[in-house]
């Protein structure tokens, strides 16, 4: 179990790889292109540089962490001889089912298969594998190296042994694992996403503006950032995907995505990653947005 693979070098994947590598694990980071892997490794290096600047780690710690990570563009090569695979691909059910079917075919039979999904059924994912007893959810929070929580979600067939192994493993990463049951959205997003969606509805209905809504939640409810800014940070496409999973899973209209959210995603206004969402993240507005974030 000291050798793990992480699938996906995006925001969550590189954060998970960073966290395991900094804790002394050997990590195989897998993505479909060298360009994606380079972006992921560059992000890890920059985040480590920030930690060095804050004197949380040394230059030697940084070098050791980076040395613990090896990159691969093929899944079959990247999952050889690993005790755990953590999938952190896009929150798309068809893609995840395809990945887990492949993992089931190429991983050693004792390998535990974990998914970082924030909403999709672990039982559904496990059903396409030849080892449903060894499939589990490890929902890390963003930014992974900083946030302590990991939601541990066991599927219908996940064994106690696998659950306990992943709970203890999470603790070795310096995380606080919390076991939850396998229902759409689990706990974090079942509570968070309706709040974000209602904030968007509040804007859509003209009750208040973006800054006003976020200020009320920051100053009145002691949230570190407002729900609309948080939605931008998560990615509006991700928020929409999670709400759709919950709406389809529960068939409850309270989870139906706000039309404004749907239209913004259609228009490519995805938040920080696209340069514009509820806030403007273009180069000439970055300083303004940073000051708003910490005000």
- Percentages helix, strand, coil for the chain (3-state, rounded to 5) are 55, 15, 35
Q: Measure CA 161 to chain center.
A: 25
- Give pLDDT, residue 285: 60
Is 295 part of any known ligand binding site? no
The DSSP call for residue 285 is G
In angstroms, the CA 209 to CA 4 distance is 45
What are 6-18's pLDDT values in tens digits? 999 999 999 999 9
- Give pLDDT, residue 172: 98
Give the confidence band of 79 by pLDDT, cuts at 50, 70, 90.
very high
Is 9 part of any known ligand binding site? yes
On the question of pLDDT at 241 being above 80, the answer is yes
* Domain-wise residue ranges, the chain: 3-181, 189-290
Q: Which residues partner with 26 through β-bridges?
A: 3
What average pLDDT does the chain have? 95
On the question of pLDDT at 170 being above 50, the answer is yes
**Average pLDDT score over residue span 65-92:** 96
Single out the catalytic residue among 87, 151, 244, 276.
151
Q: Are 102 and 85 in contact (CB under 8 A)?
A: no
Active site residue 118: yes
Is 31 part of any known ligand binding site? yes
On the question of pLDDT at 270 being above 50, the answer is yes
On the question of pLDDT at 286 being above 80, the answer is no
Q: For residue 233, how many other CB atoms are within 10 A of its CB?
A: 18
What are 139-156's pLDDT values in tens digits? 999 999 999 999 999 999
On the question of pLDDT at 290 being above 60, the answer is no
Q: Are 170 and 148 in contact (CB under 8 A)?
A: no
Give the confidence band of 293 by pLDDT, cuts at 50, 70, 90.
very low
- Give pLDDT, residue 295: 33
What are 207-224's pLDDT values in tens digits? 999 999 999 999 999 999
Is 11 part of any known ligand binding site? yes
Is 13 part of any known ligand binding site? yes
- Give pLDDT, residue 282: 87
Overall size of the chain counted in residues: 295
Single out the catalytic residue among 68, 104, 116, 189.
189
CATH among 3.40.50.720, 3.30.450.20, 3.40.50.2300, 3.90.1150.10 for 3-181: 3.40.50.720
Active site residue 3: no
- Give pLDDT, residue 284: 57
Query: Interhelix angle for 236-250 vs 227-234, to 10°?
Result: 100
Single out the catalytic residue among 18, 139, 241, 276.
139
List Cβ neighbours of 79 (8 Å cut-off, separation of 6 or more).
5, 28, 30, 85, 103, 106, 107, 111
The DSSP call for residue 133 is G
- The end-to-end CA distance of the chain, in Å, is 43
On the question of pLDDT at 289 being above 50, the answer is no
**Average pLDDT score over residue span 123-152:** 97
On the question of pLDDT at 71 being above 80, the answer is yes
Share of the chain above pLDDT 90, in %: 95
- Give pLDDT, residue 294: 32
On the question of pLDDT at 94 being above 60, the answer is yes
Give the confidence band of 1 by pLDDT, cuts at 50, 70, 90.
confident
List Cβ neighbours of 95 (8 Å cut-off, separation of 6 or more).
89
Class of domain 189-290: mainly alpha
List Cβ neighbours of 112 (8 Å cut-off, separation of 6 or more).
83, 84, 85, 134, 135, 136, 162, 165, 166
What are 182-201's pLDDT values in tens digits? 999 999 999 999 999 999 99
Residues 177-213 as b/e (b if ≥16 CB within 10 A, e otherwise) read bbebebebbbebbbebbbebbebbbbbeeeeeebeeb
**Average pLDDT score over residue span 51-61:** 97
- Give pLDDT, residue 210: 98
Threshold 0.85, pTM exceeds: yes
- Of residues 122 and 284, the one with the higher pLDDT is 122
């Amino acid at each position: 179990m000291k050798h793990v693979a992480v699938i996906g070098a995006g925001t969550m994947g590189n954060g998970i790889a960073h966290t395991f590598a900094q804790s002394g694990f050997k990590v195989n980071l897998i993505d479909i292109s060298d360009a994606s892997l380079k972006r992921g490794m560059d992000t890890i290096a920059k985040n480590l540089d920030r930690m060095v600047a804050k004197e949380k780690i040394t230059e030697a710690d940084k070098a050791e962490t980076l040395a613990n990570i090896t990159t691969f563009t093929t899944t079959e090569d990247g999952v050889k001889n690993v005790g755990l695979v953590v999938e952190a691909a896009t929150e798309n059910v068809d893609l995840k089912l395809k990945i887990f079917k492949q993992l089931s075919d190429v991983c050693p039979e004792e390998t535990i298969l974990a998914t970082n999904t924030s909403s999709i059924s672990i039982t559904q994912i496990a059903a396409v594998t030849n080892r449903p007893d060894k499939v589990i959810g490890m929902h890390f929070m963003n930014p992974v190296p900083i946030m302590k929580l990991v939601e541990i979600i066991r599927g219908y067939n996940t064994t106690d042994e696998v659950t306990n192994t992943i709970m203890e493993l999470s603790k070795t990463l310096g995380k606080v694992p919390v076991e939850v049951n396998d229902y759409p959205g689990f706990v974090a997003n079942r509570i968070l996403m309706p709040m974000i969606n209602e904030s968007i509805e509040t804007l859509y209905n003209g009750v208040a503006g973006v800054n006003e809504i976020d200020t009320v939640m920051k100053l009145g409810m002691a949230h570190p950032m407002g729900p609309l800014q948080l939605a931008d940070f998560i990615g509006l496409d991700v928020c929409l995907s999670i709400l759709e999973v919950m709406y389809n899973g529960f068939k409850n209209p309270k989870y139906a995505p706000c039309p404004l959210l749907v239209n913004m995603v259609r228009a490519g206004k995805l938040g920080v990653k696209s340069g514009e969402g509820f806030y403007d993240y273009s180069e000439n507005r970055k300083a303004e947005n940073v000051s708003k974030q910490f005000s």
